[in-house]
A and B are shown apart, each in its own frame.
Chain A
Amino acid sequence: MCYNKDSLALGVAKIVKLFRLAIGVVLCLGLILSSGGLVQAQGLEGTIKLSGSTSLQPVTMKLAEAFGSEHPRVNISVSGGGSSVGIREVDEGMVDIGMSSRELTSDDPPLFIHPICRDGIAIIVNLRNPVGGLTREQVVRIYTGEITDWGEIGGEWEKITVISREEGSGTRACFDEKVMKERKIFPQSLVYNSNGIIRTKVAKDPKAIGYVSLGYVSGVKPVAIEGVEPTMDNCKSEDYPLVRRLLFVTHDEPGGVIKGFIDFCQGDAGQKIVAEAGYVTL
Chain B
Amino acid sequence: MSRYLVDKAGRRLVFLAALVAILILLLIALFTFKEGLPAFLKIGFVKFIFGTKWSVAGGEFGILPFILASIYVTLGALLLSVPLGVSCAIFLAEVAPHRAREIVRPTVELLVGIPSVVYGLVGMLVVVPRMGDSLLAAIIVLTVMVLPTIISISEDSLRAVPHGYKEGALALGATHWQAIWHVMLPQARSGIATAVILGMGRAIGETMAMIMVIGNSIIIPTSPLSPARTLTGTLAMELGYASPGSLHWSALFATGVVLFILILALNSIAFIQRREGEG
Contact = CB atoms under 8 A, between A and B. Distances in A.
Interface residues of B, number: 31
B193 interface: no
Contacts of A193: 211, 216, 237
A168 B240 contact: yes
Interface stretch (B2-10, B39-47, B76-84, B124-132): B124-132
Contacts of A81: 240
Contacts of B128: 201, 204-205
A88 B109 contact: no
A191 B56 contact: no
B129 A205 contact: yes
Nearest to A5: B109
B94 interface: no
Interface in B188-231: 211-212, 215-219, 227, 229
Interface string A188-207: 11111100010011001100
Interface in A51-109: 81-82, 84-85, 88, 107
A1 interface: yes
Given A4-B102, A81-B240, A191-B237, A201 B216 contact: no
B15 interface: no
B264 to A, nearest CB: 28
The residue among A82, A85, A167 with the most chain B CB atoms within 10 A of its own CB is: A167
B243 A167 contact: no
A82 B240 contact: yes
A161 interface: yes
Contacts, number: 75
Given A1-B159, A84-B240, A204-B125, A8 B109 contact: yes
B109 A166 contact: no
Nearest to A109: B243
A124 to B, nearest CB: 16
Given A4-B102, A191-B217, A167 B156 contact: no
Contact of A85 (B211, B227, B240): B240
A187 interface: yes
Given A4-B106, A166-B238, A204-B125, A84 B243 contact: yes
Contacts of B105: 4
Contact of A190 (B106, B217, B238): B217
Contacts of B102: 4
B212 to A, nearest CB: 7
Interface in B237-258: 237-238, 240-244
Interface residues of A, number: 27
A191 B217 CA distance: 6
Interface in A154-205: 161, 166-169, 187-193, 197, 200-201, 204-205
B171 interface: no
B162 to A, nearest CB: 14
A82 B229 CA distance: 20
B215 A190 contact: yes
B216 A200 contact: no
Contact of A167 (B215, B227, B238): B238
A81 B242 CA distance: 12
B238 A187 contact: no
Contacts of A169: 241
B133 interface: yes
B246 to A, nearest CB: 9
A200 B109 contact: no
A190 B218 CA distance: 9
Contacts of A201: 124, 128, 133
B241 A188 contact: no
Contact of B227 (A4, A84, A88, A188): A188
B57 interface: yes
Contacts of A161: 132-133
A191 B229 contact: yes
A168 B241 contact: yes
B188 to A, nearest CB: 14
A187 B227 CA distance: 10
The residue among A107, A193, A205 with the most chain B CB atoms within 10 A of its own CB is: A193
A90 to B, nearest CB: 13
B62 to A, nearest CB: 12
Given A189-B217, A190-B215, A190-B217, A167 B132 contact: no
A167 B229 contact: no
Given A168-B241, A190-B215, 13 more contacts: A84-B242, A85-B240, A88-B243, A161-B132, A168-B242, A187-B217, A188-B219, A190-B216, A191-B229, A192-B211, A192-B212, A200-B125, A204-B125
The 9 closest A-B pairs by CB, nearest first: A168-B241, A191-B216, A190-B215, A84-B241, A85-B240, A167-B56, A193-B237, A166-B237, A82-B240
14 contacts: A1-B156, A8-B106, A84-B241, A84-B242, A84-B243, A107-B243, A167-B57, A190-B215, A193-B211, A193-B216, A193-B237, A200-B124, A204-B129, A205-B128
Interface of A: 1, 4-5, 8, 81-82, 84-85, 88, 107, 161, 166-169, 187-193, 197, 200-201, 204-205
